[in-house]
Structure 1
Amino acid sequence: MFRDLSRPIETGMPTYPGDPDVTLAPDATHEADGYATGELRAGTHAGTHVDAPRHTVPDGEAVDERAVGSFAFDARLVDLRPLEPRESVDPDALPDPSALDRDTDLLVLRTGWASHWGSERYRDHPYLTAAAAERCRAAGVGVGLDAFGPDPTPTAGGSGESAESGDETVASHGDELEPDGTPAHDVLLGGSLPIVENLRGLEGLPERFRLYAFPLRLRGGDGSPVRAVAEWE
């Protein structure tokens, strides 16, 4: 069986705060030109996408420098629900590295935040602590998520004074927590491990499946939108 786990690319779709807006518009039309073409403007991290190490590691690999086969993953679904807004995911919430077979190379984390896509609450997704990311790195597995990413996402206009939360340093903005840096990204991408973000349709998937997330061949790209597809028997 196959299932599309990708977000549709469309004008006005949600983007990570500060990233370019997405527009998809007609260029040529059948009525005016006798054929149809469109113009797409989007950032490299629009919609469902993969992060290349270069995203947060200055000398890391670009998306086009990785073997195409490295974007076909033997995935294991980890259902972390229920989780509170901006709740940290600690190492003990993830499988012990010794319990992972050698074929597993991606943990797909179901936080439940896919249901908030298109609303401001989507920003308030749970996130991995640096220690949880280190656990993944020790096991040699990357991470896929149904959220903006493995680190906290800024709130709308968030800013404030520093405060401590678990083993992450964040800034306080009212009752919200603002990120300081990208520790989970840095750990995973620093270990040349994949990150797949903004997945959808994780409900009902088996614990083990194959995930295909092939990027565009962007020269020197720090990431790329993908058509993420799950396959299982």
Structure 2
Amino acid sequence: MTQTNWIDISQPLTQDMAHFPGDAPFDYSLTFTKAQTGSANVGQLTGSVHIGTHIDAPFHYDENGKTVDQLDVNMYIGNAVVLDVSHTERITADTLKPFDLKGASRVLLHTSLPNNPKRFPEQIPELDPSIADFLGEQGVVLLGVDIPSVDPPESKELPVHHALYRQNIFILENLMLDHVEPGQYELIALPLAINGADGSPVRAVLRPVNE
């Protein structure tokens, strides 16, 4: 029996990776070396919970929203469809309507922005809030994107975040999808159980599903 390999679609956490302007950069260093302890290397890390590939908990944009540790982990495991929307810089409900979601409850959008974790983009493809109602009607519970945010970095109102929230659609950002073919997959993108947190880095992986 041939086993299908999982495809990693997460950004590696590196010292030189880009971070959201004004946010805490990622850093990993050794607190103690094996030579110092006599037994083991011991590392520490610092940085924003929104570094690299990550999920947004509702508390990120709603004071009364759930924090990461309160989220249902089943939201981040299951059937997904990867859609190629790289032909446009503005993604609306009309952009998504021609696609067959094949009943997938998790939608991952491969946009026109090339994957480059070491550079924070000056401009990102625009998502229109109208996508939320459309995806909600299709039974979608999770939207993943290969851009740093579903809203422009300079946005204060975060209209797409809130539109998705009203439809109970959760958010997964900064995926790496340039090497992934459109189609059906099984997704695992589990956040860390960080008590009280507004977001969490994830290790996101896909496994192709025979159509």
Kindly provide the amino acid, as one letter, of the partner of residue 20 in structure 2. Answer: Y
3-state DSSP class of the match of 2:136? helix
Q: Which residue of 2 aligns with 1:44?
A: 49
Report the Cα distance in structure 2 between the residues aligned to 1:198 and 1:44, rounded to whole angstroms: 12
What fraction of aligned residue pairs are identical, expressed as a percent?
30
| Structure 2 CA distance for aligned equivalents of residues 54 and 191 of structure 1 | 16
In structure 1, what is the equivalent of residue 207 of structure 2?
A: 231
Summarize the Cα distance change of 1:73–1:202 in structure 2 as closer, same or farther, 3 Å threshold.
Answer: farther
Aligned runs of 1:28-39 on 2, under 5 Å?
28-34=32-38, 35-39=40-44
Q: Supply the RMSD in Å over aligned alpha carbons.
A: 2.0
Say whether the 8 Å CA contact 1:75–1:208 is kept in structure 2: yes
Partner of 1:175: none
SS at match of 2:157: coil
Match of 2:83, SS? strand
- Which residues in structure 2 correspond to 1:184-199 (within 5 Å)? 184-199=160-175
Shift of 1:5: 0.7
**Cα distance per residue 1:72-128 (max 9 Å; x no partner):** 031111101133xxx32111111369x5444x11111001324343234x2411021
The 1:232–1:13 alpha-carbon spacing in structure 2 relative to 1, beyond 3 Å, is: same
> SS of the residue aligned with 1:19?
coil
Q: 1:38 to 1:30 in 2, by over 3 A?
A: same
SS of residue in 1 equivalent to 2:115: helix
Q: 1:200 to 1:118 in 2, by over 3 A?
A: same
Which consecutive unaligned segments of at least 5 residues does structure 2 have?
Answer: none
What is the rounded CA distance, in whole Å, between the counterparts of 1:59 and 1:36 in structure 2?
40
- Match of 1:115, SS? coil
* Distance in structure 2 (CA, Å) of the matches to 1:109 and 1:41: 29
How many residue pairs are counted as aligned between the two chains?
A: 203
Alignment-derived partner of residue 91 in structure 1 = 93
Conserved 8 A contact 1:77-1:109: yes
| Normalised TM-score (structure 2) | 0.87
- 1:138 is matched with 137
Per the normalisation by structure 1, the TM-score is: 0.79
**Is the 8 Å Cα contact of residues 111 and 145 (structure 1) preserved in structure 2?**
yes
Structure with the larger helix share: 1
Change (3 A) 1:147 1:80: same
Task: Answer whether contact 1:216 1:226 (CA < 8 A) is retained.
Answer: yes
Q: CA deviation at 1:191?
A: 2.9
- The match for 1:219 among 195, 202, 205 is 195
Unaligned runs of 5+ in 1: 155-178
Aligned residue for 1:24? Answer: 28
Q: Deviations over 1:43-95 (max 9, x none)?
A: 11111011111111222221111222221031111101133xxx321111113
